[in-house]
Amino acid sequence: MSGLMFAAAAGLPLAAGWSVHALRLARRIEAARRDPLTGLWTRDAFEARAAQSLSKGQQRAVLVLDLNWFKEINDTHGHAAGDAVIRATGMRLGVWAAGHHGVAGRLGGDEFAAVVDVCGEADTVTGNVSAKVLELIGSLERPVPFEGRDIDVFVSVGAARYWRGTADLSALLRQADEHMYRAKREGGGASIAPYFERTPALPTVHGRRYGRPGTTGKEVA
């Protein structure tokens, strides 16, 4: 064996070792960006992917959703039951978003978000968003089995339309959050913004609706 061939053969185990190490490192990095309970992207990872999704398409819907009466689930059935509901909600949302060429994430607590494709002409997009949101609610509001009993689940969903660069992700999430809160005040279901509203309908703190976790004041959602 020539010296060159010997050196190449000797380097094979080292190269293989580095490849395995790089693969393990990549998996650890991705795992750190996933919510351990639901498997969805965490807030920062979701926002990065959602912003990329908006940059590649002309028509998108940005959704924010929140579980109704989640505290009562924890108080009545225990925190393990609450975790089961969060897990099921995240998995159902992830499957639904993937089916609509989108991305989903858990923003924290019982709050989730998604960005999905919508199709059609400008005057039919709202109807398409409505159909998708109703489909999503039907999927999420199926009872969650837990220790031999079914736990009822109810959600509030807010949706904002993205149309050819009308706004950035932060503004769209803010508007979707406002409509989610509107739906929640009305007992649940969905509220869809018919067009982008540049001026916040509700007071904000650091770009977030006043009263949400992370802002000052009483938490209202």
Q: In angstroms, rounded to a whole number, what is the distance separating the alpha carbons of residues 98 and 110?
A: 20
- Name the one residue in this structure whose structure tokens are 């309970």: 37
Cβ-in-10-Å burial (0-12, 13-18, 19+) of 115 comes to buried
Three-state DSSP class for residue 128: helix
Q: What pTM did the predictor assign?
A: 0.76
Q: In angstroms, rounded to a whole number, what is the distance separating the alpha carbons of residues 211 and 221?
A: 7
Determine the pLDDT at residue 200.
Answer: 53
Q: Tell me the torsion sign for CA atoms 123, 124, 126, 127.
A: positive
> Is the CB of residue 33 less than 8 Å from the CB of residue 45?
yes
Q: Which two tokens stand for residue 198?
A: 């540049």
Helices (H), ranges, the chain: 3-32, 43-56, 70-77, 79-99, 125-140, 169-185
pLDDT in tens, 126-144: 678 888 999 999 999 999 9
pLDDT in tens, 58-73: 788 999 999 999 999 9
| Segments of the chain with pLDDT less than 70 | 1-32, 57, 119-126, 165, 195-221
Q: In angstroms, rounded to a whole number, what is the distance separating the alpha carbons of residues 178 and 106?
A: 17
**For residues 136-174, b (16+ Cβ closer than 10 Å) or e, as one string?**
bbeebbeebebeeeebebbbbbbbbbbeeeebebebbbb
pLDDT in tens, 159-188: 998 887 677 899 999 999 999 999 999 999
Determine the pLDDT at residue 195.
Answer: 59
Determine the pLDDT at residue 13.
Answer: 67
Three-state DSSP class for residue 124: helix
Question: Which residues carry out catalysis?
Answer: 110
Determine the pLDDT at residue 126.
Answer: 65
Question: Distances in Å between the alpha carbon of 2 and those of 5, 11, 105?
Answer: 5, 14, 55
- Angle (CA) 191 197 202, round 5°: 70
Determine the pLDDT at residue 193.
Answer: 85
Angle at which helices 70-77 and 79-99 cross, to 10°: 140
Q: What residues form DSSP beta bridges with 151? A: 144
Determine the pLDDT at residue 215.
Answer: 38
